[in-house]
Amino acid sequence: MGTVTAHGLRKSFGEVRALDGVTLEVPDGAFFVVLGPSGAGKTTTLRAIAGLERLDAGSVHLDGRDATGDTPAARDLAMVFQSYALYPRKTVYENIASPLRARSTPADEIGAGVERVAGLLHIERLLQRRPAQLSGGEMQRVALARALVRRPRAFLMDEPLTNLDLKLRVEMRTELTRIHRTLGGTFLYVTNDQVEALSMADQIAVLREGAVQQVGTPTEVYERPANQWVAGFVGSPRISLLACHAEGDRLVGAEGWTLPRPRWTTAEDGRPLVLGLRAEDLSVEQRGDAALPGEIYGLEPLGDRTLVDVKVGAEMLKVKARPTVTGKPGERLSVSVDLDRAHVFDADTGLALS
Ligand code: ATP
């Protein structure tokens, strides 16, 4: 078993309210990601669960048992820090073996354990080196190996890939999900990188200013963001947001455009709304009747696709187009909108309307 439940976590550092009632339920065996921008309270949440941070209020349950007052060691969680925290004088082998030695594991089991995780992380040839003789990416693998060498109740990982270059990061994402599948176990993983979250998680909790905004699968968070802030934070390129209101069966833009009102929009006429449109749900090719008039602001070729920035009055749309698309700044065009995939938010509360 490896369920981790945090309930109503509150923590302030002086004036700074780092956690404002964080509740998370991590199921046994999940790859659960806490996603949020810098300062959202991700590290504090993880440290509170690990028992490294005294809480002002709230509780932590591990496997259903109240562990709020337990020492870090008694919680039996393995934590991987962003900073690696390797022992500089020990060899890689000894670094990885250290959690097993601390638990008086028999020597033959230590050897087998280190070999197993070294194989999993492709670092067999580094075992006799010391941390100073490793690259950043290698150190990261060693730090992960040291966490994975034993079977704790759950693994807590604090932005473990941030110090890697982009290529290595992308590789390690795949590696980590493979390791999770191979080893099993509960992973609670913190990141500010939404691509990392979307690509690795079974479930994502989106955190902002010490409060959980939404919990869901990557598809749920991307396709049905609970509010305008989540819609803006998750997804690249960023979702385009246009001010509007409903009038009968039309949506009327602050910039003068109108679109058929999506069937599911429940807002009363005149209430300030925000229409959210993702780049892939917009097209510069004619598709159906729903379209917005605009002019090209610029093209951003990205190899497999080109993003077209289109000005609609004072607002800007990002439109995904074929790499062969052409056009000059200032050229007028009509942007087709897939309204079935559009998002509508209440402009005052930011909440999604459905
Ligand atoms: P990052 O992605 O930058 O690591 P985070 O989401 O992990 O950010 P936390 O490190 O949990 O955020 O910090 C949450 C808030 O609490 C921030 O405003 C931070 O400045 C503050 N904070 C965290 N630790 C301390 C501390 N020891 N003393 C004072 N303030 C702190």
ipTM score: 0.96
Which residue has a Cα nearest atom 28 of ligand 1?
A: 13
Residue 148 pLDDT exceeds 80: yes
140 pocket-lining for ligand 1 (C-beta < 6 Å): no
Average pLDDT taken over every residue of the chain: 92
Q: Check residue 222 and give its pLDDT.
A: 96
Q: Is 91 exposed, middle or buried (0-12, 13-18, 19+ CB in 10 A)?
A: middle
Q: Check residue 16 and give its pLDDT.
A: 95
Contact 286, 216 (CB under 8 A): no
In this prediction, residue 164 has a pLDDT band, given cuts at 50, 70 and 90, of: confident
Residue 350 pLDDT exceeds 90: yes
In this prediction, residue 322 has a pLDDT band, given cuts at 50, 70 and 90, of: very high
294 pocket-lining for ligand 1 (C-beta < 6 Å): no
pLDDT tens for 43-54 read 999 999 999 999
Q: Check residue 1 and give its pLDDT.
A: 72
* Domains of the chain and any CATH numbers: 4-225 (3.40.50.300), 237-346 (2.40.50.140)
191 pocket-lining for ligand 1 (C-beta < 6 Å): no
pLDDT tens for 247-275 read 988 999 988 899 998 776 778 889 999 99
Ligand 1 centre distance from Cα of residue 62 (Å): 24
Read off the pTM: 0.91
Ligand 1 centre distance from Cα of residue 209 (Å): 10
pLDDT tens for 80-137 read 887 778 899 999 999 999 999 988 888 889 999 999 999 988 899 999 999 999 988 8
Who contacts 123 (Cβ-Cβ below 8 Å, separation ≥6)?
92, 138, 141, 142, 145
Ligand 1 centre distance from Cα of residue 274 (Å): 31
Who contacts 69 (Cβ-Cβ below 8 Å, separation ≥6)?
none
203 pocket-lining for ligand 1 (C-beta < 6 Å): no
Ligand 1 centre distance from Cα of residue 43 (Å): 7
38 pocket-lining for ligand 1 (C-beta < 6 Å): yes
Give the helix ranges, DSSP H, for 154-242: 166-183, 194-200, 218-223, 228-233
Integer Cα distance of 266 and 288 in angstroms: 23
- The pick from 12, 13, 208 for probing ligand 1's pocket by mutation, whose C-beta has the most ligand atoms within 8 angstroms, reads 13
9 pocket-lining for ligand 1 (C-beta < 6 Å): no
Average pLDDT score over residue span 211-226: 97
- Specify the ligand 1 atom closest to the Cα of 36: 6
Which residue has a Cα nearest atom 9 of ligand 1?
A: 41
Element (H, E) at 138: helix 136-148
Q: Check residue 194 and give its pLDDT.
A: 93
Average pLDDT score over residue span 14-33: 97
Ligand 1 centre distance from Cα of residue 138 (Å): 27
Integer Cα distance of 99 and 117 in angstroms: 13
